[in-house]
Amino acid sequence: MKKPTKFIFVTGGVVSSLGKGLAAASIGALMELRGLRVTFIKLDPYINVDPGTMNPLQHGEVFVTDDGAETDLDLGHYERFSRASIGKGNNFTSGQIYDAVISKERRGEYLGGTVQVIPHITDEIKRSVEAAAHDVDLVIVEIGGTVGDIESLPFLEAVRQMKLEKGEHAVSLHVTLVPYIKAAGELKTKPTQHSVRELRAIGMQPDFLLCRADRELPEEMKRKIALFCNIQADRVFSCIDVDTIYALPGFLHKEGVDDKLAAALGMWTREPVLDAWKEIVRRSLQPQERVTIGIVGKYVDLTDAYKSLNEALRHGGIANDCGVELRFVDSEKIEQGGVERFLGDVDAILVPGGFGVRGTEGKIEAIRYAREQKIPFFGICLGLQMAVVEFARNVCGLTRANSREFNATTDQAVIDLMASQIGVVNKGATMRLGAYPCQLQEGTLARRIYGRPEISERHRHRYEVNNTFRASLQDHGMILSGLNTAHDLVEVIELPEHPWFLGCQYHPEFKSRPLDPHPLFASFIRAAMDHQARR
């Protein structure tokens, strides 16, 4: 007889950005170490169909899965902390749910009945959650937003119904805030009490509380919270600010979170072995060496806009037992003059992906500086495209070289719109998205780094290197070391006379893990260490 799938529903209260996603990911990591097959679902209450058209400064990065889903950044946490296979069925927004229900109503599937939030919207939410629950032991479901938000109510109601239907096979974990009031010199439990009261008012009694605070909660305070929130005292856990996010699984295990969750769900599992995570924490906090990476972009006012990139660089540091300091440089400031003032003392330069013309000339100038000064350079997506523009202008003599995205009338569009994108009107989910294969040329830097002839990486873009100019680029020394042969598209470029100069059209950061750093980032950080040693 097949064992029933278990569910952990993760909610949050008081304020946003409490770390529900990291908590869910860390719990998933612990449960995997206990021998369970785990998957995750993120339910987001915004009306957008997906975050693909949202401003990164408002929402943070868009995380892309192998199957081409544009998802919330928390799905990146899920993949980094676990071996779960994440895809389109792991992230649902209000926009997707309402679109599915309205489409069914238009097709007559409700047989003329009145379509309502309950049961039609909540049923669609439950159906979506159940669809992702196959072939796993445990599903961790995170509900975005905070308890009390109007837009979150349909999701919370659906979770309430599922928790009732699943009985002993489901528990809820509520992440809440216990602030320290400096003037009073005390931790205050009232925000947590009010948050739980809001949750109970809609029919959900949390089974566990994860209390975010800047220090561990005294046992007496845990008992007080338990009393006023109608929860067993040994199910109230501290969740403090840790020095590195990779210390969180170890801290939650020390608090007994995974033990208590497994017991409550009737899952008899082995004790987790955390040696690998402990070494990651050691290398993160006490590295043997340190380097500084200059990240030249235009979303530098919100580092969450580059969440996966930031973590992948740190993973590269972990692979080399090297601490990585990230220096974010606004490319528009470089345009105003003084590239050396911003980048003169960095050990390597990276230009990440992005959209829109703003700041592109600053990125081109930063790339020129890296090329001429022999500073390790890594260009990702738009970073590759700007590297091609810079090389075309300053080496190939194509002085009007540009991307069609930024100059629609240029006669030297070394970066041009993909043929499949011509005439596309809708912006959402219409780019080249998800995993595509790439063939690596023998004897190149990329081939040495990957150690194999074919790779698969995730994409998110509309523009490509224009094949019309490939011969000119190669004649002047650029190596097109990675190609998608099926569509005859350039995937990787490099400069052989440079110590480490590589651009890729894809986003390798989406596949990097602390336990398995992406080889490009590990090699890039190694190159930064070598450059530092040469200076």
Contact by Cβ (8 Å): 43, 156: no
Question: What distance in Å separates the CA atoms of residue 412 and residue 386, rounded to the nearest whole number?
Answer: 14
Match 């009232």 to its residue by tokens.
Answer: 190
| Strand positions, DSSP E, 5-79 | 6-12, 38-44, 63-64, 70-71
For the stretch 479-512, pLDDT in tens is: 999 999 999 999 999 999 999 999 999 999 999 9
Of residues 385, 432, 389, the one with CA closest to residue 410: 389
Task: Give the pLDDT score at 426.
Answer: 54
Split at pLDDT 50, 70, 90, the class of 428 is low
Angle between the N-to-C axes of helices 94-106 and 122-131, in degrees from 0 to 180, rounded to the nearest 10: 110
Threshold 0.85, pTM exceeds: yes
Instruction: Write out the catalytic residue numbers.
Output: 381, 507, 509
Domains of the chain, first to last: 6-278 (3.40.50.300), 287-534 (3.40.50.880)
For the chain, the farthest-separated pair of C-alpha atoms sits apart, in whole angstroms, at 75
For the stretch 58-99, pLDDT in tens is: 667 889 999 999 998 899 999 999 999 899 999 999 999 999
Average pLDDT, the chain: 92
Mean pLDDT of 274-286: 97
* 442, pLDDT greater than 80: yes
Q: What percent of the chain has pLDDT over 90?
A: 79
Question: What distance in Å separates the CA atoms of residue 85 and residue 78, rounded to the nearest whole number?
Answer: 9
Task: Give the pLDDT score at 355.
Answer: 74
Question: What distance in Å separates the CA atoms of residue 440 and residue 454, rounded to the nearest whole number?
Answer: 6
Instruction: Fill in the amino acid letter for 244.
Output: T
Match 């979506």 to its residue by tokens.
Answer: 128
Q: Distance between terminal CA atoms of the chain?
A: 65
Where does residue 240 fall: left (phi above 0), alpha (psi -120 to 50 degrees), or beta otherwise? beta
Least confident of 223-227, 336-340, 480-484: 336-340
Mean pLDDT of 106-135: 93
Contact by Cβ (8 Å): 78, 25: yes
